[in-house]
C-alpha cells in the first residue's frame, strides 16, 4: 500500500540526516521533496502546497530538542499532519437507531456489493442482526452476487428480481426487516459507470423514502483524483455521512485516501483491502499515517488477531503445548487462523520496519500451500502422532502432496525444532509460578 509514497517520503527525510538542527535552508529542500512526493501520489497541488507549508512552519517553530534529530522530528511532524489531513480521529458508524438503515452508493465496479457483504459480516460479528437489500434493478447479476455473499456469511438478502421500482423494494425490505427483527438494514443500490443524473435521482429517492442514518459512499482508491471528483459529485447530491475506500490492497498511489476527507469534509469510515469478506478495516487516520511512514501498525495487527481469537481453542492449544502434545492438526489450525487474518504481505507490513524490507519480495497468499498439502496427505493418525512418521510414510506423504521427499524431510525437521522449542519453554516456565500452579 502506498509504497512509492512511503519510499519518496523516506528519501525526503534522509536529506536532513547529519544536520544538527532544522534551518530555513535545510528544511526547504526536504519540504520541496515531500511536496513532490505528494503530488506524484496524486494529491492535488494546492493541497500538497498547503500541507508542506504547515509542515515547514511547524518544523521551524519547534524548539530545538537535542534528543531528537531533525529527521526524526520531521517524521513526527509529517505523521501528525498526514493523520490530520485524513481526518484526525476515527469516525464511527451511527448505529443507535433500531433499525439502523445504511444506504450504500457509488459507481458501478467501485466495490459496493462486496463492501455491503463485508459490512454485514462486520456488524454480525459485533452482535447485530443485519438484512442485506438488493436494490439494483438494472443488473440481475448484482442481485445474485449479493445473494451469494449473503449465503457465505449467513445473512439474509431481500430482493424482488421482477420489481423495477427501487424505492418500493426498499420500503418492502423495511417491512420484512421489522417482522424478522433485523436491527441493521444495508441497502446496496445500483451504480453507473460514470456520474449520471438518473442514478443520482434514484439513490436520492431511496434516501428520501427510507431516511437512512448512514449514507456511505464507496469509491475505488485506484482511481486517484477521479475518486475525489466523484466523491464531490455524490456528496453535492446526497450529502453522504462517510466514505469507504476500496481496493487499498492494490497498487494505489494514495491520493484518494489522503485528500477525500479534505475535499468533501466527510470522514473515511472504512477501508477495504481485498475480495475476501473479512478484509474490512475501520479507518484510523493516525494508524494509516504510521503505515505510510513505515512505522507499521501493530494495533491493527493485534485487532485482526483478536478477531480470530477463540478462547476455547486457545485454552486447548495451550494445554497441548504444555503437555508436549502439539501435533500437525494443531499446526494446521494455526495456519488457517493466520490466513483468516488477511493477506500475508499486508500483515507483515504492519510490523514496524518490515514493510520496507519486504516491499520487493513476492509473498503470495499461497505461501502455505506446500505445507498444507503435506499435512493434508497425512493420515489422521499421523497428524495426531507425528512421531510415527517414518521413512516410508514420508515417501507416501511426499507423493500425495506432489512434493519431493526432501521437502517432507525439511518440513518435519522444522516441525521438530518447533516442538523442541515448545518443550524448552515449558521447562523454563515450570519453575515459574503460573505454570506450576497449572500442573
Which residues are documented as binding site for GTP? 106-113, 188-192, 246-249
- From 53, 57, 92, 275, residue interacting with ligand GDP (rule: CB under 6 A): 275
Cell numbers 430482493 label which residue?
159
Is there binding between residue 342 and ligand GDP (CB under 6 A)?
no
* For ligand GDP, the closer CB: 71 or 223: 223
What is the C-alpha separation between 120 and 136, in angstroms, rounded?
17
**Contacts with 66 (C-beta within 8 Å, 6 or more apart), sequence order:** none
Site for ligand GDP in 188-227 (CB under 6 A): 191
φ, ψ (nearest 5 deg) of residue 288: -65, -40
CA distances to 36, 283, 328 from 317, rounded to whole Å, are: 51, 32, 12
Is there binding between residue 71 and ligand GDP (CB under 6 A)?
no
DSSP 3-state percent helix, strand, coil across the chain (nearest 5): 60, 10, 30
Q: Which cell numbers hold the place of 366?
A: 499461497
Least separation, in Å, of the C-beta of 94 and ligand GDP?
A: 23
Strands (E), 369-432: none
Upper half-sphere CA count for residue 375 (Cβ side, 13 Å)? 19
Least separation, in Å, of the C-beta of 198 and ligand GDP?
A: 16
Least separation, in Å, of the C-beta of 377 and ligand GDP?
A: 31
* For ligand GDP, the closer CB: 111 or 212: 111
- From 273, 292, 301, 408, residue interacting with ligand GDP (rule: CB under 6 A): 273
CB-based contact 317:330 (threshold 8 Å): yes
What is the C-alpha separation between 361 and 37, in angstroms, rounded?
23
- From 87, 111, 254, 349, residue interacting with ligand GDP (rule: CB under 6 A): 111
| Choices 17-25, 104-112, 231-239, 259-267 (CB under 6 A): range interacting with ligand GDP | 104-112
Cell numbers 510490523 label which residue?
351
Is there binding between residue 249 and ligand GDP (CB under 6 A)?
yes
- From 247, 253, 261, 419, residue interacting with ligand GDP (rule: CB under 6 A): 247
Instruction: Kindly list the strands in the beta sheet with 100-106, ordered across the sheet, starting from the edge strand earlier in the chain.
Output: 157-158, 130-135, 184-189, 100-106, 214-220, 242-246, 268-272, 280-282
Least separation, in Å, of the C-beta of 149 and ligand GDP?
A: 9
- From 71, 113, 189, 235, residue interacting with ligand GDP (rule: CB under 6 A): 113
* For ligand GDP, the closer CB: 145 or 259: 145
Least separation, in Å, of the C-beta of 183 and ligand GDP?
A: 24
What is the C-alpha separation between 366 and 242, in angstroms, rounded?
34
| Choices 44-52, 241-249, 301-309, 339-347 (CB under 6 A): range interacting with ligand GDP | 241-249
Q: Which residues are annotated as a binding site?
A: 106-113, 188-192, 246-249
* For ligand GDP, the closer CB: 56 or 112: 112
- For residue 176, with 0-12 CB atoms within 10 Å meaning exposed, 13-18 middle and 19 or more buried, which class applies? middle
CA distances to 243, 365, 380, 381, 417 from 149, rounded to whole Å, are: 21, 21, 33, 36, 41
Is there binding between residue 251 and ligand GDP (CB under 6 A)?
no
- From 272, 287, 293, 375, residue interacting with ligand GDP (rule: CB under 6 A): 272
Least separation, in Å, of the C-beta of 283 and ligand GDP?
A: 13
- State the binding string over 288-317 for ligand GDP (x if CB under 6 A, else -): ------------------------------
Pairing of strands 184-189, 157-158: unpaired
- State the binding string over 142-181 for ligand GDP (x if CB under 6 A, else -): ---x------------------------------------
Nearest CA to 227 among 197, 254, 187? 254
Which residues would be at the binding site for ligand GDP (CB under 6 A)? 106, 108-114, 145, 191, 246-247, 249-250, 272-275
Amino acid at each position: 500500500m502506498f509504497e512509492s509514497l512511503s519510499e519518496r517520503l523516506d528519501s525526503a527525510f534522509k536529506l536532513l540526516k547529519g544536520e544538527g538542527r532544522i534551518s530555513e535552508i535545510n528544511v526547504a529542500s526536504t519540504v520541496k521533496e515531500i511536496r513532490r512526493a505528494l503530488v506524484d501520489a496524486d494529491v492535488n497541488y494546492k493541497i500538497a502546497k498547503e500541507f508542506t507549508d504547515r509542515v515547514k512552519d511547524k518544523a521551524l517553530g519547534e524548539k530545538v530538542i537535542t534528543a531528537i534529530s531533525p529527521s526524526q522530528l520531521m517524521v513526527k511532524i509529517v505523521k501528525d499532519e498526514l493523520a490530520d489531513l485524513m481526518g484526525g480521529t476515527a469516525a464511527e458508524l451511527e448505529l443507535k437507531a433500531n433499525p439502523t438503515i445504511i444506504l450504500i452508493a457509488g459507481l458501478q465496479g467501485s466495490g459496493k456489493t462486496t463492501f455491503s457483504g463485508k459490512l454485514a459480516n462486520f456488524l454480525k460479528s459485533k452482535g447485530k442482526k443485519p438484512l442485506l437489500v438488493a436494490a439494483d434493478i438494472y443488473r440481475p447479476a448484482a442481485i445474485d452476487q449479493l445473494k451469494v455473499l449473503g449465503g457465505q456469511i449467513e445473512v439474509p438478502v431481500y430482493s424482488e428480481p421482477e420489481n423495477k421500482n427501487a424505492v418500493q423494494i426498499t420500503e418492502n425490505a423495511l417491512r420484512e426487516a421489522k417482522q424478522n427483527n433485523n436491527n441493521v438494514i444495508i441497502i446496496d443500490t445500483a451504480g453507473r459507470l460514470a456520474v449520471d443524473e438518473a442514478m443520482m435521482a434514484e439513490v436520492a429517492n431511496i434516501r428520501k423514502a427510507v431516511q437512512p442514518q448512514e449514507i456511505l459512499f464507496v469509491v475505488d482508491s485506484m482511481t486517484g483524483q477521479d475518486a475525489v471528483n466523484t466523491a464531490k459529485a455524490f456528496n453535492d447530491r446526497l450529502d453522504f455521512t462517510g466514505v469507504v475506500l476500496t481496493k487499498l490492497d492494490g497498487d494505489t498511489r494514495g491520493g484518494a485516501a489522503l485528500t477525500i476527507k479534505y475535499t468533501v469534509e466527510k470522514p473515511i469510515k472504512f477501508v477495504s483491502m481485498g475480495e475476501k469478506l473479512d478484509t474490512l478495516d475501520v479507518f484510523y487516520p493516525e494508524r494509516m499515517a504510521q503505515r505510510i511512514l513505515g512505522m507499521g501498525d501493530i494495533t491493527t495487527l493485534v485487532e485482526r488477531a483478536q478477531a480470530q481469537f477463540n478462547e476455547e481453542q486457545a485454552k486447548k492449544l495451550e494445554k497441548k503445548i504444555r503437555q508436549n502434545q502439539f501435533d500437525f492438526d494443531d499446526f494446521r489450525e494455526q495456519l488457517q487462523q493466520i490466513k483468516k487474518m488477511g493477506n500475508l504481505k499486508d500483515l507483515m507490513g504492519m510490523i514496524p520496519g518490515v514493510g520496507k524490507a519486504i516491499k520487493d519480495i513476492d509473498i503470495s497468499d499461497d505461501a502455505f500451500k506446500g505445507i498444507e498439502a503435506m499435512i493434508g496427505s497425512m493420515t489422521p493418525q499421523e497428524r495426531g502422532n507425528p512421531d510415527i512418521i517414518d521413512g516410508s510414510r514420508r515417501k507416501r506423504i511426499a507423493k500425495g502432496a506432489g512434493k519431493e521427499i526432501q521437502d517432507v524431510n525439511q518440513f518435519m525437521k522444522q516441525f521438530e525444532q518447533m516442538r523442541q522449542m515448545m518443550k524448552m519453554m515449558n521447562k523454563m516456565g515450570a519453575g515459574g509460578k503460573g505454570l506450576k500452579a497449572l500442573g
